[in-house]
């Protein structure tokens, strides 16, 4: 029983890292419609997030963008032991954003970005085969980023911003044969920064480079709640606080866009996300009798490739399409039902309708197929918590956004 309880701690640590491994790439409807290839394309206030350098080169005016995306992931698990298929309980998510970009003069613009670039939610039936690994896991993040951008010349600008980030986490699972449960919850905050450059190579050919730093969350007073723990172990495993740290990764984005004619734009982008910073995660418990935990994760850096296009037939409508491939940072031996992540191949589409000179409505759709992952078990490795089987995941998303120019 003691080993089972300790394994639960380690598996919970694994969830936190895996939660960081789930990027949410629905940070603007125009960008989503173009497959996320937006680092080298400035169209609205979302430049405050995608490339602060591009903000100073927006057309004259003040910009406001708000929006949300309905994400609908669906996951199935095929057990090696029973050959039974278990469906993860369907959950829908609404990552949202707000962006503002305001020029102070011909060279300087300021902006604000509020969004949720990381997060996940998984929930399985309480009595499913893997309930000792996970029953429920949830991570929410909120980033607030004030930004300033400076236009050096007609063809080159630079921008940078500070980031304040807040995170909220919940993990729940069964403990062994006694039908005991454990729930870990906590909130934390951290700081980071981003910087970007935007420029014109020649007529109608643009480039953009953006770097977003990692953000470290210091969780000082997490709450560990145990229920139905045998009396003989209650002194070692009481409800208590714990401390931990979680560093969300840095991201480097490089993009090019080309307006091939007056109506059509093509955009390309490469991203490198520094997941290798997740080598291990520690939990230090308040009760001296409770053993602290150290969980090895050994994540790998991951690349993504994005391409998108926009066609504007007239002043009222614009149509977009895109595609992307995202590598997963999760090694085969660390696949877990907390987040059965895999490489992601996605197709996107979008459109805009200009309601008036000031208002514009955006819509986008995304379909993602996550590569099939086959998990195995290895009882010799206490820092890995999984069950043997195959995971299959599909994701659909529909987004709406509103832009206001004033």
Question: What pLDDT, on the 0 to 100 scale, is given for residue 379?
Answer: 61
- Report DSSP letters for 184-199, one per residue: EEEEEEEEEEEEEEEE
Structural domain that includes position 396: 2-405
Question: What pLDDT, on the 0 to 100 scale, is given for residue 333?
Answer: 82
Of 273, 281, 277, the closest CA to residue 250 belongs to 273
Q: What is the pLDDT of residues 123-159, one digit of tens each?
A: 888 888 888 777 888 888 999 999 999 999 999 999 9
Has residue 10 got a pLDDT over 50? no
What lies within 8 Å, CB to CB, of 203 at 6+ separation is: none
Q: What is the pLDDT of residues 293-319, one digit of tens each?
A: 666 677 899 999 999 999 999 999 999
Give the β-pairing of 251-259 and 264-273: antiparallel
Question: What pLDDT, on the 0 to 100 scale, is given for residue 14?
Answer: 36
Average pLDDT (376-381) is 67
Q: What CATH number does the domain containing 100 carry?
A: 2.40.160.60
The total of structural domains in the chain comes to: 1
In which band, very low, low, confident or very high, does the pLDDT at 1 lie, cut at 50, 70 and 90? very low
CB 359 within 8 A of CB 402: yes
CB 118 within 8 A of CB 95: no
Q: What is the pLDDT of residues 216-228, one digit of tens each?
A: 999 889 998 888 8
Has residue 21 got a pLDDT over 60? no
Residue with tokens 């050959």: 83
Length of the chain: 406
Q: What is the pLDDT of residues 387-397, one digit of tens each?
A: 888 999 999 99
> Rounded to an integer, what distance in angstroms lies between the CA atom of residue 206 and that of residue 155?
9
Q: What is the pLDDT of residues 90-131, one digit of tens each?
A: 888 999 999 999 999 999 999 999 999 988 788 888 888 888
């Amino acid at each position: 029983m003691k080993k089972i309880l300790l394994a639960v701690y380690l598996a919970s640590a694994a969830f936190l890292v895996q939660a960081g491994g789930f990027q949410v790439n629905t940070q603007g409807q125009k960008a989503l419609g173009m497959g996320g290839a937006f680092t080298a394309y400035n169209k609205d206030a979302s430049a405050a997030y995608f490339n602060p350098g591009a903000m100073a080169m927006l057309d004259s005016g003040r910009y406001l963008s708000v929006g949300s995306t309905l994400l609908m992931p669906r996951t199935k698990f095929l057990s090696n032991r029973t050959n039974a298929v278990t469906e993860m309980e369907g959950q829908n998510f609404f990552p949202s954003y707000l962006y503002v970009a305001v020029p102070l003069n011909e060279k300087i613009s300021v902006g604000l970005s509020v969004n949720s670039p990381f997060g996940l939610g998984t929930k399985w039936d309480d009595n499913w085969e893997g309930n000792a690994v996970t029953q429920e896991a949830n991570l929410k993040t909120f980033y607030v980023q004030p930004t300033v951008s400076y236009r050096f010349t007609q063809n080159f600008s630079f921008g940078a911003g500070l980031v304040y980030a807040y995170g909220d986490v919940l993990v729940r699972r069964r403990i062994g044969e006694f039908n005991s449960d454990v729930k870990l919850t906590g909130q934390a905050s951290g700081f980071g920064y981003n910087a970007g450059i935007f420029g014109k190579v020649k007529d109608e050919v643009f480039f953009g480079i953006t770097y977003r730093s990692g953000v470290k969350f210091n969780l000082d007073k997490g709450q560990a709640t145990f229920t139905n723990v045998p009396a003989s172990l209650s002194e070692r495993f009481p409800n208590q606080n714990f401390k931990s740290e979680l560093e969300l990764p840095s991201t480097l984005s490089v993009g090019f866009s080309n307006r091939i004619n007056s109506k059509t734009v093509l955009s390309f982008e490469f991203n490198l996300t520094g997941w290798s910073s997740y080598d291990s995660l520690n939990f230090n418990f308040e009760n001296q009798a409770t053993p602290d935990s150290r969980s090895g994760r050994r994540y790998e850096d991951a690349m993504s490739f994005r391409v998108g296009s926009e066609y504007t037939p007239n002043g009222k409508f614009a149509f977009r399409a895109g595609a992307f491939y995202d590598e997963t940072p999760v090694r085969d031996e660390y696949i877990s039902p907390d987040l059965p992540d895999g490489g992601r191949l996605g197709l996107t589409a979008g459109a805009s309708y200009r309601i008036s000179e000031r208002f514009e409505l955006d819509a986008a759709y995304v379909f993602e197929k996550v590569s099939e992952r086959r998990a195995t078990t290895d009882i010799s490795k206490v820092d890995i918590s999984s069950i043997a089987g195959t995971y299959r995941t599909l994701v659909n998303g529909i987004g709406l956004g509103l832009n206001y120019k004033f």
